[in-house]
Structure 1
């Protein structure tokens, strides 16, 4: 729901201090300097937004937005956190792009549409005149190089696991690539959605620079150029003058400020220092609306995710994992934390998802069932440490979970901390359980990817440490579904998978949430997204 607000125009001077311009080449000392920069600028030192409307002939001014998620790296084939993906969406293009409002894949670097050559071979013409930010032409060879890079085991890209249907991508001439498939992934629509995940990089630029240089200052062909990256503080994007794609790039520049403290983000919007903010605290939505700002709370795939260490007792037993999930009072969390902007997860997919089917195993609170499952598993006096992300809508859930589990005889010690730093304990298997959040739909909305993100491959095996025969079975079920194209068969297959996911629950959502955004009325080009991030290019 988007709340219509009274028109309010913020007009203030623009102030920029302490910026670093990224050179074409970075020394090791420069890299360490960039990587070591930490902390936020104060609200008073943030860039101020010049609110005059864009000139009718196109370019005008700088848009300044306040981000609520950290940016850890910007290599589009390695970045898998929401803050980085927001920046990447401005800087890079794929063969296709995902339309946020619908989830549909639209041609981006593909000229027209892909053409089927034979059962498992497709051909794509590259958009004429597409150039990288350094002015060099984007060619079919760059596309082929990009896919080879992602699919190589050497890079270790998280995206590789989602391209197992793809055999090869080859350049047949300067503007044409051929894609040879192992099989068509659940129809042509899913194929295009997967192709949208992969952002095209320059072969010459990528091979000439180090991994650290690319992570700090990547070069793409998108509507905006990454001009400045002050680690922990801001990213400045400037217009790519050679861009000839479909998205608008009317602003001279877009200044994305990292304001991780929720109250500081709200204050920055109220005082005219930014024109839009993401991750608005739910209690502030109404007051911002009353103050004359536009606000939106849009349904997303974003979820609070309870992750278990399945590699050691007691959570190597799915009955113990289920017991914890049955004991949590989700309705209490809904009322106390989400204020109408979230709903308990009845399944891994939210109820409005086209492949949602209510499973038989639904974690509605049942303390007696939780106790019975623990007894069946031979576990008494269960006690564990729960790490809790410090994200504003996650952190307060910790004490509520602790209290509700105590009623089931389960003792929980809370360990709050910064989201990404806590994942160090997850990856080295030194944790027991972790309450965090995720939204794989920022990569693709197709159901196979959404399920694999949590229940197969990298995260399931390397983070939840779920390496069992049941993991193998889940991956086989997903692979079988991926090769179906009949909608009724797909619906039935995903219903079976959703039930198995609930039974095994190596990680499982507690709630699906709405994404809260606020912005100054009539901000040119701004569109609230049904996902994390800020877009000044009409929702791209």
Structure 2
């Protein structure tokens, strides 16, 4: 039987159509609302443009390490208060404009300006001055020591821009990356083509298409039919065993930075009562959500921190499933009958998980009214407007616990003691100091039951067996194509 199975697999492999060795089609669940990574919070934007169209001074590698990018190296001075970046020579933007130190000054000043629309403006708040020493050298002086500054510069929100094209990035992105925008057919696909003037190692691919397929059933059908070559974040995990058994495909399972939470509006009654928030957290059965929404793919979390990080603290016990405790807390809160609005974005984990959350809350006496939203509507109403009670969402930015210190952030926490912790973290230089502060931060938001922490999103991808170079893990929200190639 073993020999027969191997022979069959070989025959299938021989029967596979010859792949275009310089083209790839990837599936994505969500279409980006725009292509400007410095002007919005949508993960789908970075999934198309990060490392492909745009580059920063530094970048994240496949294993999460910070690597040189447009800066070939940097010097750290004054105990981490001054960073001197040495830029690659011969770099140009897709429109032919030369990249130099003046573009770094423009980009960082723009990101930290009072009128900046950057979704991660906090990354740049510690910058005091940015100076062009010469065309290939930039000195960044910070308000205080920050050993994490190269990490901050690796985010998609910190990519380098040309002043002449910055205003039009939403629909006409101009970067320095190995690919340039070729076509955007709204509602269908984005097509990239190789940038012949790229300064670094040329990619093996000449064209890359991103097709938007939000429906899990359609995603599975597209993979089976060969309409897409890879689906790096596959939305139908229930079909993975079937795909894994098919020699045409490889199933790639890794980790992400995606803390999936039942976010609560801490500024709105009755959710401004910690007893109500704790009751909601206690009503949640994480394994049921992971099994029901993700078919077993996911790791339970008890705070806003990735389990694979060395400073992770397992705090799931603080909010262990306990319906009777939840009912007692609601009685103590004397909040009366509770009906909450549950806003769900279109991702399958949110829609499937939201229905399970609704049933679990109903079991302790909390009623919810589900509103299914499209992505642009969720961003505008929930994320920007803060008009919600509950929502299910995965925060895929790396090491982003600092969002809990932002006064205008959509779940409205910003406890002064937590803000002070983040201020200390900003100034901390030694690994031990940073580790202690990260652990204190996890414990504080878990103990305040800011949100109900569900699970760390797994990265479940499917690809043609002949494709190499796709990321196994997702240290940031990206489909980095720079090292992707077909094997013979």
Q: Distance in 1 between matches of 2:71 and 2:14?
A: 39
> Is residue 524–residue 536 contact of structure 1 (8 Å, CA) maintained in 2?
no
377-386 vs 121-130, greater mean Cα deviation: 377-386
> Is residue 318–residue 447 contact of structure 2 (8 Å, CA) maintained in 1?
no
296-305 vs 352-361, greater mean Cα deviation: 352-361
Does 2:16 align with 1:80? no
- What is the match of residue 312 of structure 1? 268
- What is the match of residue 492 of structure 1? 436
Cα distance per residue 1:116-149 (max 9 Å; x no partner): 3444322222101111112221111011111111
Does 2:215 align with 1:261? yes
> Is residue 279–residue 515 contact of structure 1 (8 Å, CA) maintained in 2?
yes
- What is the match of residue 173 of structure 1? 134
Q: Distance in 1 between matches of 2:444 and 2:66?
A: 29
Query: How far did residue 346 of structure 1 move?
Result: 2.5
Q: Distance in 2 between matches of 1:301 and 1:97?
A: 15
Task: Give the 3-state SS of the residue equivalent to 1:114 in structure 2.
Answer: strand
Task: Give the 3-state SS of the residue equivalent to 1:295 in structure 2.
Answer: strand
Task: Give the 3-state SS of the residue equivalent to 2:154 in structure 1.
Answer: helix
TM-score by length of 2: 0.90
- What is the match of residue 391 of structure 1? 347
> Is residue 347–residue 498 contact of structure 1 (8 Å, CA) maintained in 2?
yes
Query: How far did residue 439 of structure 1 move?
Result: 0.7
Q: Distance in 1 between matches of 2:357 and 2:420?
A: 34
- What is the match of residue 30 of structure 1? none
Task: Give the 3-state SS of the residue equivalent to 2:67 in structure 1.
Answer: strand
Does 2:200 align with 1:245? yes
- What is the match of residue 204 of structure 1? 164
Task: Give the 3-state SS of the residue equivalent to 1:395 in structure 2.
Answer: helix
Cα distance per residue 1:57-91 (max 9 Å; x no partner): xxxx3211111122111112113212110222110
- How is 1:401-440 mapped onto 2 (pairs within 5 angstroms)? 401-426=357-382, 427-440=384-397
TM-score by length of 1: 0.81
Q: Distance in 2 between matches of 1:373 and 1:490?
A: 34
Task: Give the 3-state SS of the residue equivalent to 2:120 in structure 1.
Answer: helix
Q: Distance in 1 between matches of 2:222 and 2:246?
A: 14
- What is the match of residue 145 of structure 1? 106
> Is residue 343–residue 370 contact of structure 2 (8 Å, CA) maintained in 1?
yes
310-319 vs 332-341, greater mean Cα deviation: 332-341
Query: How far did residue 501 of structure 1 move?
Result: 0.7
Q: Distance in 1 between matches of 2:371 and 2:119?
A: 28
526-535 vs 487-496, greater mean Cα deviation: 526-535
Q: Distance in 1 between matches of 2:279 and 2:44?
A: 33
- Cα–Cα, structure 1 residues 523 and 387, in superposed 2: closer, same or farther, change >3 Å? same
Q: Distance in 1 between matches of 2:309 and 2:467?
A: 31
Does 2:120 align with 1:159? yes
- Aligned equivalent of 1:91, options 53, 61, 80: 53
- How is 1:103-118 mapped onto 2 (pairs within 5 angstroms)? 103-111=64-72, 113-118=73-78
Task: Give the 3-state SS of the residue equivalent to 2:153 in structure 1.
Answer: helix
**Cα RMSD for the two superposed structures:** 2.3
Cα distance per residue 1:429-484 (max 9 Å; x no partner): 4321112222112xxxxx4xx1013x122xx6241233xxx523211111112222
Q: Distance in 2 between matches of 1:196 and 1:99?
A: 9
- Aligned equivalent of 2:408, options 461, 470, 478: 461
Cα distance per residue 1:209-245 (max 9 Å; x no partner): xx4x320111000110112122222111111111122
Aligned residues: 468
